[in-house]
Amino acid sequence: MKNIFIQGSIAASFIGESIAKHQSKTDIGAHAIFLGQVRADVIDGQPVSRIDYTAYEDMALQKVHEIREAAFDKYPLTCMHIYHSLGSVGVGEISFFVFVSSAHRAAAFDALREIVDAIKADVPIWGKEIFAEGQGSWKVNQ
Amino acid sequence: MIHLLAFGMIADVLEHPEKDWPWSADTAMLRAALIKAYPELRDLPFVIAVNMDVAGGEQPIPPGATVALLPPYSGG
């Protein structure tokens, strides 16, 4: 099963290199990319300084595999790459990267949204929002 | 026995995220036993995965299963 986890934040250079790797795949006409960035929420007056991510890794990889297969069955995609951070990611840094490619834009747009929503709903990953003072509170997804 | 895993805020309550725990025949009985040992769990939302399977509703637990306590996910 493909690993999706990256320790710490996902660097902009890693995302750029991922895009560059597709130049040889000339049947692709459209890429769609989602990047999740850690937001400086203020909770009970305390600003968030980072999120610490943990996961039930074995189950998460199994769930992502199912989501990936379902998307390939439903949409004419050329390829799909999914990455999520584990450990600490500071505000303003990237923690979630989904990249889908297809011949035409409609499949890439539609699949991207479905994959991102499914990962947030069905994959056992947790974020703890850590305040500048050190305490934290468990993140609740919207 | 079962192999018990806890994540997120549930791991905070159990102190150890991974431990051996007496076997219960199904997830409803396990939940009751856990709440008896850790009363704070009564007010926390979590689902129980048996060997990585989160069934809708309660499910049986085979002896020796890996059972995970999963609070609402918050990835992304």
Q: How far apart are CA A65 and CA A68, in angstroms?
A: 5
pLDDT value of residue A14 = 98
The full 3-state SS of A65-128, as one line of letters, equals: HHHHHHHHHHCCEEEEEEEEEEEEEECCCEEEEEEEEECCHHHHHHHHHHHHHHHHHHCCEEEE
Residue boundaries of the structural domains of chain A: 5-138
User: Does the residue B66 lie in any domain?
Assistant: yes
The three-class DSSP label of residue A57 is helix
User: Does the residue B76 lie in any domain?
Assistant: no
pLDDT lower than 70: segments of chain A: none
User: Does the residue B59 lie in any domain?
Assistant: yes
Per-residue pLDDT of chain B (76 residues; tens, 9 = 90+): 999 999 999 999 998 899 999 999 999 999 999 999 999 999 999 999 999 999 878 999 999 999 999 999 999 9
CA A98 to chain centre: 5
CB A4 within 8 A of CB A64: yes
CATH topology of domain A5-138: Aldehyde Oxidoreductase; domain 3 (3.90.1170)
User: Does the residue B75 lie in any domain?
Assistant: no
Q: Does A38 touch chain B (CB under 8 A)?
A: no
pLDDT value of residue A13 = 98
State how beta strands A136-138 and A125-131 pair.
Answer: antiparallel
Q: Does A50 touch chain B (CB under 8 A)?
A: no
> What is the number of structural domains in chain B?
1
Nearest chain A Cα to B45, which residue? Answer: A140
SS3 content of chain B, % helix, strand, coil (to 5): 30, 30, 40
pLDDT tens sequence across A19-58: 999 999 999 999 999 999 999 999 889 999 999 999 999 9
Q: Which CATH number do you get for residue B18?
A: 3.10.20.30
pLDDT value of residue B55 = 80
Phi, then psi, of A134 in degrees rounded to 5: 110, -35
Residue range(s) defining the domain that contains residue B18:
2-70
User: Does the residue B27 lie in any domain?
Assistant: yes
The three-class DSSP label of residue B65 is coil
pLDDT value of residue A1 = 84
Cβ–Cβ below 8 Å for A124 and B9: no
Please name the member of A59, A122, A127 whose beta carbon is closest to the beta carbon of B68.
A59
pLDDT value of residue A27 = 97
The three-class DSSP label of residue A141 is coil
A:103-132 residues touching chain B, CB 8 A cutoff? 116, 119-128
> What is the interface pTM, i.e. ipTM, of the complex?
0.95
